[in-house]
Amino acid sequence: MKITLTVNGRAYPLDVEPRRILADVLREDCRLTGTHLGCEHGVCGACTVLVDGEAVRSCLMLAVQCDGSSVRTVEGLAGPDGEPHPLQRAFSAEHALQCGFCTPGFLMVAAGALEADPTIGDDPERVHGLVESNICRCTGYEPIRRAIMRAAR
């Protein structure tokens, strides 16, 4: 099936089987391997990307469902000159990553929430809810929570 995905502002005309999930198409057809796949059933959140501005699990969406949609992945966070996104700077400053496998998912879930509502940092419970969305086996979550609060300032 022929579809067009706009990923990080660039149009990708693609021909994909309906059974292929968004995450695989981003990684294999668009060659954007920043999006990671962990559990492939919606639990771990490593594959979280923004579809039309909303953070979703790219393992639980078919690529054909996103025909005509605008997708943003972790590769789309940094500025055109390579300047890291405020969230990326905050993750670095707060040591919010160790092995880094889950980091793209946490960055995108936080980016979606911050762009939808920049005041989220005023509500620690909502930040807590975001951090609960994904699994990290290294950091113990507290540095991630601090990084999101820092970026929201």
Partner 1 sequence: MKPAGFDYAVPRTVPETLDALADTARDIKVLAGGQSLILEMHLQRIQPDLVVDINRVTELDRLSVNDGTVEVGALIRHGAFESPQAVPGPLGTLFSRAVVNIAHPPIRVRGTMVGSLAWAHPASEWCAIATALDADILLQGPDGTRQVPASDWFRGPLRTARRPGELITSVRFPLLGADSGVGFIEHRRTHFCFAQVAVAAALTVRGRVIDEARIGLVNCADRPVRAHAAAQALTGADVGSLGTDHRLPDGHPFLRAGRIAAEQDAAPLAEPYADLEYRRHAIAVLVGRTLRQAAEGVPQ
| 118 touches partner 1 by CB under 8 A | no
- Binder among 2, 31, 41, 153 for partner 1 (CB under 8 A): 41
Chain residues 68-107 in contact with partner 1, contact rule CB under 8 A:
none
| 60 touches partner 1 by CB under 8 A | yes
Query: In the complex with partner 1, which residue's Cβ is closer, 89 or 121?
Result: 121
Cα 74 to Cα 15, 36, 118, 124, 141, distances in angstroms: 23, 10, 19, 24, 19
Q: Is the alpha carbon torsion for 19, 25, 26, 27 positive or negative? A: positive
**129: left (phi > 0), else alpha (psi -120 to 50), else beta?**
alpha
Q: Provide the 3-class DSSP secondary structure of residue 91.
A: helix
Size of the chain in residues: 153
| 45 touches partner 1 by CB under 8 A | yes
| 136 touches partner 1 by CB under 8 A | no
Which residues lie near partner 1 (CB under 8 A)? Answer: 1, 17-21, 24, 40-43, 45, 48, 54-57, 59-62, 64-65, 109, 112-113, 129-130, 132-135
